[in-house]
Each structure stands twice: as structure tokens, then as C-alpha cells.
Amino acid sequence: MSTTEHHSESPALSRYAVKAAQTRGRAHAEPPDPLRDAFEVDRHRVLSCAAFRRVRAKTQVFGGAEDDHFRTRMTHTLEVAEVARLLARALRVNEALAQVIALAHDLGHPPFGHAGEAALNACMKNHGGFEHNAQTLRVVDYLEHPYPAFRGLNLTFEVREGVIKHASLYDRPALSSADPVVAALLETGRWATVEAQIVDLADRLAYDMHDLEDAIGAGLLSPAHLESLSLWREARITRPDLPDAVNVFAIRRPVLDAMLDRVVLDAAAQSMPMLVGIESPDEVRRLPTPALKLSEDVQSGLREVEELLRRDVYLTPRVQRLDEEARRIVTELFEAFVSREDELPPRFRSRVAELGVFRTVCDYIAGMTDGYCRREWERLVPRRSQR
């Protein structure tokens, strides 16, 4: 039986989709997998790696200690992958590629969400900085090492390109680098493939929808808050079967599902005309603007959601208090390891000569879960500093 009989890539893919057989390949050549195409191999490797397992215990917005039902970085990642799959199918591009970029896109996130990232970036201000998309590339290219033949996961060019070019409301990396590895991924053009751009939008939508749901669960948003959102009001109209309940918690899921469907369908309707006549992924990369579009009504609706979340969730004393504590823990732990290299695990301590103590400590802390980071802080930082 030939290997292609096992592969699930649809023959109905558009011309601008990336075909697994046409991948630009891997840094280290490997024989074909007997059961999976190139992007399915990458998906398997990401799902199987230690960094992916640790994502389950990293904060999204609300700390996991607050409530077992709040999102973590893992549940966010899985929701991004599902939205990316829906968008990829609607636009007739490679679902496996979109999914693996989504599954990998937050592997470089440090503990405690964006507060942890801000703290690490401040610690690394004079040592090359810290940005989690670049860190994700370090994870898949260097820090993960489950295969004896090479360092990293040896992912395809297209997945690595999608990771480093990832851009969303919260991720806007500067697209230039003195690092030749990163530079090679950026020289293909300003934009990544349609599959990677789908992940950018899916990331935004997952943030907006699940942060709304978690904020409702946390009691931070009232019915009046939600009725102020045009997308919420439109979604309610499409679900006349739902009661006019004051208790928005009871109807949150079907309304949020309808909101998500509205945006996904809008993205497909607005983007397809932009892609007419595009003959290859390279043409997508060279476009003057992103290939994915939203109507102004939907863009405006998402901005309303994001402003509400910023004002009434992210900037509330409750969330700010959590963020302040997170920044303190990460900063003090970083300083403790820099001054006491002997406390690093042997495999990290052995990298200090090559990478320097600052980058080595940064790599170590970035890979920690929230709980492990806190425990190491409690172990290494004097109690009087923890008060």
C-alpha cells in the first residue's frame, strides 16, 4: 500500500493552499512517514512534546487557582485550533497545517500569561529581550529534544514560518531579525500563508469569546455589559428559542457560539473574493495586505468586545492584582537564578557557557508552569521578600 493512501489531504484544496507534498521541507531531511503527510507529522510532534503538556498549567487571564473552570493556555490553544480548522475548511486550505500552527503558537508563552511575558521581557531588556513568538521558535527548533538525530522537533518550514509571523491583538512581533534562522523565515514576504493568517484570526476570536465567557463566570460582566455589544445583540436575535433571562450565565454558551459562527462566516465571505486569482502560497506572501478580511460591521463589533474586556476585565483591580503578583514572582525568581547559577538544573547549567546566564535563565523560566514557577520562587526567594 502506498503512503499516499493513508494521507487525509483533500483533493479540493484551492490553488493558494499549501500542499503537504510541496512543503519547503525540514532543516534535517527525513524519510516520508508511512501514515502521515508532512503537516500531520508536525501535528503529532507538537501534540507529543513536553512543552505542549506544560501549557495545560499556564494562565490565560484568570489564574487556574481561582476556579477550575477558567481557561488555561492549553484550553485556549485547543479552541484556537478548532476555530482555525473551521476557517481552513471554509477557505479550502490545508486544515492540518492550520491546526498545527495553532497548536504550536503558544508553546513559548511563559507562566502567568501576558504579565509573565512582560516581566521576562523587562528582565531581558539589555540581553536581547523576550517575545513569546520568538520563544516558540526556540522551543520547536532547540529547546525540545526528543529525537536523537537532531535538536528540536524538526518541523516543516511552513509551520515555523507561521509561528514567527504570528500576529494578533496581543502578538505583534517586529518582523526583522539579526538571527539568520529567523531571517530566513521572514524573507519569504511580509505575510505568511493563508493557513497561518487563519491562525492569527482564530487566536483573536478565541481570546474574545472565551474571555467573555470566563468574565461572565467570574461575575465581572452584567446583562447590561453584554447588551451593549452589537455582536451579542445580533446573536440573541438569531436564537429566539433562548429565554430573556437576566441570568446571562444560563444562555452564554449558545449566544457565544452564534457570535463565533457570525464572525467565521463573515471572514469566509469577505476573504474569498480577495483570493480569487491567487495561484500559489507565494503570491499570498507577497500581497500588499493580509489575505483575510472582515466586514466593517464585524470589525467594529469585535472592537466593542475588546474594549469592554480591556476596561471591565483586564484593568479591574482583581486581574491587575493577579498580574502584579505574577510580575513580582517572575522578576524575583529570574534575579535569584542569575545570582545563583548552581540552582539551575544540570542540563540548563551546561548551556550557560554557550548562551550566557541571562538567556539560559530566561529559557528555563519561560518553560515553567505557573505552579512550578511559584514553588521555585518560594524555595529561592527569602520569605521577607514574598510578603
pLDDT of residue 5: 41
Per-residue pLDDT at 347 exceeds 70: yes
**Closest C-alpha among 344, 271, 387 to residue 14:** 271
Apex CA 118: angle with CA 334 and CA 47, to 5°? 85
Q: Is residue 240 part of a domain?
A: yes
Q: Is residue 269 part of a domain?
A: yes
Q: Stretch 221-244: mean pLDDT, rounded?
A: 92
Q: Is residue 56 part of a domain?
A: no
Per-residue pLDDT at 311 exceeds 60: yes
- Nine-digit cell at 368? 515553567
Q: Is residue 253 part of a domain?
A: yes
pLDDT of residue 30: 96
Q: What does the pLDDT look like over 166-192, one tens digit per residue?
A: 875 455 455 445 567 777 777 777 789
Predicted confidence band of residue 130 (pLDDT cuts 50, 70, 90)? very high
Q: What is the mean pLDDT of the chain?
A: 90
CB 232 within 8 A of CB 254: no
d(CA 178, CA 22): 28
Per-residue pLDDT at 137 exceeds 80: yes
Q: Stretch 332-340: mean pLDDT, rounded?
A: 98
CB 297 within 8 A of CB 305: no
pLDDT of residue 387: 53
pLDDT of residue 377: 98
Q: Which residue has the cell 524538526?
A: 154
Q: Is residue 136 part of a domain?
A: no
Q: What does the pLDDT look like over 318-327, one tens digit per residue?
A: 889 999 999 9
Predicted confidence band of residue 247 (pLDDT cuts 50, 70, 90)? confident
Residue 254: CATH number of its domain: 1.10.3410
Q: Percentage of residues in the chain with pLDDT exceeding 70?
A: 89
Q: Is residue 270 part of a domain?
A: yes
Q: Is residue 187 part of a domain?
A: no
Residue 221: give the domain boundaries.
195-315
Per-residue pLDDT at 143 exceeds 80: yes
CA atoms lying within 13 Å on the CB side of residue 3: 12
pLDDT of residue 11: 66
Predicted confidence band of residue 386 (pLDDT cuts 50, 70, 90)? low
Q: Is residue 129 part of a domain?
A: no
Count of domains in the chain? 1
Q: What does the pLDDT look like over 2-59, one tens digit per residue?
A: 344 445 566 689 999 999 999 999 999 999 999 999 999 999 999 999 999 999 998 7
Check residues 212 and 247 and name the one with the higher pLDDT.
212
